[in-house]
Each structure stands twice: as C-alpha cells, then as structure tokens.
Amino acid sequence: MAPPLSAPADTPGADDPAGDAAPQPPRRPKRRPASPAGGAQPSPVPSPVQWFGRLNQLDFDLDFFERLLARNPDSIDVLRVLGELASRRGLHDRALELDRRLVGRLPADSLARYNLACSLALAGRCDEAIVCLGAAFDLGYDDVAHMEVDPDLASIRERPEFRALVGRA
C-alpha cells in the first residue's frame, strides 16, 4: 500500500491526517494595507501623550482659557486669567483687548484698571497707561512697592507723571 498523500497546508483536513475534524475554510493570505502613492506609509495619529508633549504649559493654558471664554464670554474670572496668560505669552494686543473688556465689566475695580495700565504700557501706549494708572489710584490701588518693580511698567517708570503718581501714594 502506498503511503497516504499529504494534503497541502491550506486545504481542509491538512492538520488532521485521520480526517476526523470538521472541515476548515481555506486560509487567506494576510493583506497588507495599501500605501499611498510613492510607497510612503501614512503617519499614525499621535497619541495624547505625544500631542500634549508638543505644547508647553502656557500654550496649553491659553488654549484652554480661550475655549472657556468662547463658551462664556462674560466670565470675569476667565477674562482675568486669560488676560494674565496672554500678557505672559507676549500677546500684548490680546491682553489689552481682554483687559479693556474686564474694565468694561468692572469699571470700579482698581486691580482691573492697574492691569489695563500694564497692558497699555506693554503695547507702547504710554500716555494712556499713565491715565489708566491714575484711575487705578483713584479707585484705591496703592501697591507702590509692586509698581516700582513691575516689569510691565518699565516703559513709563521714569516718566515724571509716573513719579508724581508714586508720590501721591
């Protein structure tokens, strides 16, 4: 008797010489994903860890608070924080816009006026900064020690009007 012929590996019963097992469908070869023209593989979507790693904390906070402000445009707390963040990032025009909005919502708030004066000074609007700083003093702002070292006010610190305001306190 001749030895039994072995079946090809992809035919039913190939793994079962006695043929007792249920027939299995033929195995298909694995398909490779189609590559774009030129043979380059598409880049995978970055994981959250990779994406967040590209933003520094200040940029992340700015984006977060900008989104909060878009949902709640009159939030005093968000306006305060976002104005500070924009200023810290060097976005002086944006900080100025936010501080103006805050003063519009809180016209009697001395700290809001002080922050607006800082934004004006950073934007190179020195005369307006002095006037706004005077309004902050009129509303009760009195932290002269901070004013003397606040880097935001460096552009107006040597002006006679600034010295006069400091002398008032």
Q: Which CATH class is domain 55-168?
A: mainly alpha
Tens digits of residue pLDDT in 114-134:
999 999 999 999 999 999 999
For the CA atoms of 73, 94, 165, 151, what is the dihedral angle to 10 degrees? 130
Whole-model pTM above 0.85?
no
The confidence score (pLDDT) of residue 55 equals: 73
The answer to whether 156 touches 129, Cβ cutoff 8 Å, is yes
Query: With a cut of 50, which residues of the chain have pLDDT below it?
Result: 1, 3-4, 6-8, 11, 33, 35-36, 43
Cβ(86)–Cβ(65) below 8 Å: no
Contact between 11 and 18 (Cβ < 8 Å): no
